Amino acid sequence: MGHAGRAAVAWLSLSTIGLGGCGGVDTSMKPGPGPGGDLRLAATVPESGATLTVRICPTQTTQPLCTRELVVTVAATSDQAVGLASVFVEFYAADGRKCAAASSPSAPLAAGVGRTFEVWPTYVSFPPNQGILCPLPVTTTRMVAILVDVTTSEFRRGVSREFPGTYTFQRAPD
């Protein structure tokens, strides 16, 4: 999936699954019914504590703000086959606001067989309707990874897991 497609999937994460939303407090992180499995944080480059610069990342139809400086690698397993799996990672501020999101390219995930997903770029805005999710600069203190079956759009029925991770997102100087 190209960057434009991944931008659309990340935007879907921000606008559809509703895990907090812009300015909202996250109250829905309990996974719903669905397949069991596990998500493990395999790597983050750069490590927690980094300051990341966001700039315009043009897609085919919009000009969202994103950073390509952060790559989150998540190891995923599922007890059921997932036809076309993707991992979404959402970044939350200490007050519960969702301030950024990213998604991996999609790939088949066989039952009981682990696979790693590289999640990037990370988006902080989705014009024209959503704008910037949180005023910049913003520091996020936790990441939530969600395993999604993109063929069925089962976002809440996947596996999710929270990880600590502090990142400051700041706008590039003009």
Contact 123, 100 (CB under 8 A): yes
Please indicate, yes or no, if residue 57 is contained in any of the structural domains.
yes
Contact 85, 147 (CB under 8 A): yes
Query: What's the sign of the alpha-carbon dihedral 42, 46, 47, 49?
Result: negative
* 38 in any annotated domain: no
Expressed as residue numbers, the domain containing 74 is: 3-26+43-171
Task: Write the CA distances from 26 to 34, 45, 62, 98, integer angstroms.
Answer: 20, 26, 27, 8
Residue 84 in any domain: the answer is: yes
pLDDT in the model for residue 33: 40
Q: Give the number of other Cβ atoms within 10 Å of residue 89's Cβ.
A: 27
Whether the Cβ atoms of residue 39 and residue 86 lie closer than 8 Å to each other = no
pLDDT of residue 173: 87
- Find out whether 120 and 167 touch, Cβ atoms under 8 Å: no
Structure tokens at 78: 């599922």
- CA 92, CA 142: separation in Å to the nearest integer? 5
- Write out the chain's pLDDT in tens, 174 residues: 444 444 444 444 444 333 333 333 333 334 444 458 999 999 999 999 999 999 988 776 778 899 999 999 999 999 988 889 999 999 999 999 999 999 999 999 999 999 999 999 999 987 666 678 899 999 999 999 999 988 886 654 568 999 999 999 999 987
Flag whether 37 is in a domain.
Answer: no
CB 88 within 8 A of CB 105: no
| Residue at 112 is within a domain | yes
**Which amino acid, one-letter code, is at 70?**
L
Is residue 34 situated within a structural domain?
Answer: no
Task: Identify the pLDDT of residue 91.
Answer: 97
Check residue 8 and give its pLDDT. Answer: 44
All residues at 6 or more sequence positions from 39 whose CB lies less than 8 Å from its CB, including other chains: 74, 75, 76, 87, 145, 147, 159, 160, 161
Residue 33 within a domain:
no
Predicted local confidence at residue 131, as pLDDT: 78
Task: Return the CATH number at 141.
Answer: 2.60.40
In a domain, 79, yes or no: yes
pTM greater than 0.85:
no
The structural domain count of the chain equals 1
